[in-house]
Structure 1
Amino acid sequence: MSELPPVGLGGAAFGNLYGPVPDAVAEEILDAAWAAGIRYFDTAPHYGLGLSEERLGALLARRPRAEYVLSTKVGRLLEPNPDHVPGALDTEKGFWVPTNRRRVVDLSPAGIRDSLTASLERLGLDRVDVAYLHDPEEYPRAEAHAAIRTLIEMREEGLVTAIGAGAKDVPVLVDLVRAAAVPNGRGGGHGMDLVMVAGRYTLLEQPAWPGLVPACAEHGVGIVNVGVFNSGLLARKQVPPDATYEYGPAPAAMIERANRIAGVCARFGVDLPTAAVHFGRRARGVVNATFGLSSAAEVRELVARLDAQVDDALWVALVAEGLLPDGVIAA
């Protein structure tokens, strides 16, 4: 993997996120993404208790392995759930799948390695290109540091090509980027390759800008930008009063800010979701923007937004209005 493709497809929908997704619909999503030229696909054991990996692996097995980049995540093992009740679903975690498996956190060296091995078995593939530590903010910091060191060792052994961490907690990602860059083993100081930033580097808000973006630039770490619609707040042309943010009702201040941004966008003939997509892709330090899509129609809509022309004067105007920090958009 010389570099990450610029746009990716997230695999949560393949794990029945927010509701059942028929196999035929999953296949249509993948087919539409492939036809659109999308060649980066991301999944995780967490997504549907392994269902996302199983589905995505089966669909990608029909494609030439050398033509796409695939990532999954480590940190949670899946094991049979002795407490499963027939008919019970994993809806508390957002996935409509039977709870016949359960997640077990294991950040030990053996646990990280076993996680990747199990993912490959579910995927039915011989390798993934990228392995991320999933949600490191949920674990003691020392354990997260140790898990990253294990991933670095696995990269040095050739088990994966690139490694990183995925989180919505910016200070944790900054800490991991800097700690991983300390010389360690044969890597000679080569720490993480990527961070996956969820909802913290968007048109609405940029907590990643002051600390994480400079840290990544200093240590040669690419940013994979996900959650660019802020859980739906930026996903519609008109911001509704019942918009969602952080998977719950959006605070009035966030709705007001989104409406201000939408007003500036309208002056340049750009709707809010299109601007959000372009910001997510063009923000400084971003090497890839990955989108969770739940239908082939959403894939085609994303492609149309990416193809839309956005005048650079829009970003200048948003900076002038105090709605974006100066310099955040890459030239």
Structure 2
Amino acid sequence: MKASEKRNLPRSGLSMTALGLGCSQFGGLYRPMAAAEAAALADAAWSAGLRYFDTAPYYGYTLSERRVGHALGARERSAYTLSTKVGRLMRPDASVKPGDDGWAEPLPFRPVYDYTYDGIMRSYEDSQQRLGLAQIDVIYVHDIGRMTHGGQHAHYWTQLTDGGGFRALLALRSSGEVGGIGLGVNEWEVAADALNEVELDAIMLAGRYTLLEQTALEPLLDVCVRLKTAIVVGGVFNSGVLAGNGKFNYADAPAEVVERVSRLSALCERFEVPLPAAALQFPFAHPAVVSCVVGARSASQLQQNIAWLDQSIPADFWAALRSGNLIDAQVPLPEGHA
């Protein structure tokens, strides 16, 4: 599969390239990224044919959105698809310091959760201004869920339902201000709940449908095929453990994950397949998956991701994954191998 391949969202008429650039690094995730580096990375993505970019107010406490807007400002607006997120309002706060929430050089704004009708509308308008755009293609409700909010989940879920958050999304879509609406989450359960409340165009799901973990298969992805809701896969390397950094869900990988990755690595070595290439290609076999968003710190890292997506992987490798009980027995496999 080519990274630049255009793929359509079933509901909205929007398209995304198979590979999208996730722009959390533009906000300085864990270590700084200079403005010139961010601009060069955006240029490299464009030159490689990538036309889907994803950002969020939370990334760098508004820094990513500002840089993405600057990088895309001179591009023809109809030539690319852009998504950002709602659910946090960014309030001025001079006490913000380097390292807060993992952002190396955050701007002086503090995130405040707000999933109400007015909160969603305000978040969207603020993003328009930071991006310098009159229209944003897709907006995702960011980081809703029990794992994220713990005991406060019911409170924030009520903001989306009774408080009008979902109604705000529908209003923005019906007015044509946005082309598509969805969720951007790490938890498949809340996405499944949302589908019972509102018709979504896309769900950006991070880490729950990967070579390492397919917990979202039947409860969510298969349902999305029936509902024509596109899946955008994020966290394809499960925070990096499938790319060799030892992290899983943003923390040190537990022993059982390390052991499973070791088994996957051994099979990859047997077939001379890079583990990250298998991880990147695996989700695309499911018919709900439209795009995969990856982050990068440099043009060379981005080119490596593109090469992994393009790499030829034999059908026997995918079959061996299944026969070795390394993946769910029901998952579709790449290259149409049953």
- TM-score under structure 2 normalisation? 0.88
What pairs with 1:171-210 in structure 2 (closer than 5 Å)? 171-180=189-198, 191-210=199-218
Distance 1:208 1:49, change over 3 A: same
Q: Partner amino acid for 2:15?
A: E
**Which of the residues 88, 91, 96 maps onto 2:99?**
91
**1: distance between equivalents of 2:226 and 2:284?**
20
Could you say what secondary structure the match of 1:112 adopts? helix
Question: Structure 2, unaligned stretches of length 5 or more?
Answer: 1-12
**2: distance between equivalents of 1:59 and 1:300?**
19
* 1:148, distance to aligned residue in structure 2 (A): 2.4
> For residue 166 of structure 2, what is the aligned residue in structure 1?
148
**2: distance between equivalents of 1:76 and 1:13?**
19
> For residue 165 of structure 1, what is the aligned residue in structure 2?
183
> For residue 75 of structure 2, what is the aligned residue in structure 1?
63
Could you say what secondary structure the match of 1:18 adopts? coil
Could you say what secondary structure the match of 1:70 adopts? strand
Identity %: 40
Could you say what secondary structure the match of 2:205 adopts? strand
**1: distance between equivalents of 2:114 and 2:328?**
39
> For residue 267 of structure 2, what is the aligned residue in structure 1?
264
The question of whether the paired residues in 1 share the 8 Å contact of 2:100 and 2:106 is answered with no
Matched, 1:289 2:305: no
> For residue 40 of structure 1, what is the aligned residue in structure 2?
52
The question of whether the paired residues in 1 share the 8 Å contact of 2:233 and 2:293 is answered with yes
* 1:80, distance to aligned residue in structure 2 (A): 1.2
> For residue 104 of structure 1, what is the aligned residue in structure 2?
112
**2: distance between equivalents of 1:203 and 1:98?**
33
Could you say what secondary structure the match of 2:120 adopts? helix
> For residue 314 of structure 1, what is the aligned residue in structure 2?
317
* Higher deviation after alignment, 99-108 or 112-121: 99-108
**2: distance between equivalents of 1:40 and 1:281?**
16
**Which of the residues 243, 248, 251 maps onto 1:245?**
248
**2: distance between equivalents of 1:98 and 1:170?**
29
**1: distance between equivalents of 2:171 and 2:133?**
21
**Which of the residues 19, 22, 43 maps onto 2:31?**
19
**2: distance between equivalents of 1:20 and 1:281?**
32
> For residue 240 of structure 2, what is the aligned residue in structure 1?
232
Question: Structure 1, unaligned stretches of length 5 or more?
Answer: 181-190
The question of whether the paired residues in 2 share the 8 Å contact of 1:177 and 1:215 is answered with no
**2: distance between equivalents of 1:108 and 1:260?**
45
Could you say what secondary structure the match of 2:49 adopts? coil
The question of whether the paired residues in 2 share the 8 Å contact of 1:284 and 1:328 is answered with no
Aligned CA-pair RMSD: 1.5
* 1:284, distance to aligned residue in structure 2 (A): 4.0
Could you say what secondary structure the match of 2:196 adopts? helix
Matched, 1:302 2:305: yes
* 1:30, distance to aligned residue in structure 2 (A): 0.7
**2: distance between equivalents of 1:144 and 1:4?**
27
**Which of the residues 218, 243, 246 maps onto 2:226?**
218
Matched, 1:325 2:328: yes
The question of whether the paired residues in 2 share the 8 Å contact of 1:178 and 1:219 is answered with no
* 1:174, distance to aligned residue in structure 2 (A): 0.6
Distance 1:42 1:272, change over 3 A: same
Could you say what secondary structure the match of 1:162 adopts? strand
> For residue 186 of structure 1, what is the aligned residue in structure 2?
none
Q: Partner amino acid for 1:164?
A: G
**1: distance between equivalents of 2:69 and 2:284?**
26
Q: Partner amino acid for 2:69?
A: G
**2: distance between equivalents of 1:2 and 1:246?**
30
Distance 1:305 1:292, change over 3 A: same
Could you say what secondary structure the match of 2:104 adopts? coil
**2: distance between equivalents of 1:41 and 1:55?**
12
How many residue pairs match? The answer is: 312
**CA deviation map 1:79-117 (0-9, x unaligned):** 211xx24xx525231112245211122212111111111
The question of whether the paired residues in 1 share the 8 Å contact of 2:60 and 2:107 is answered with no
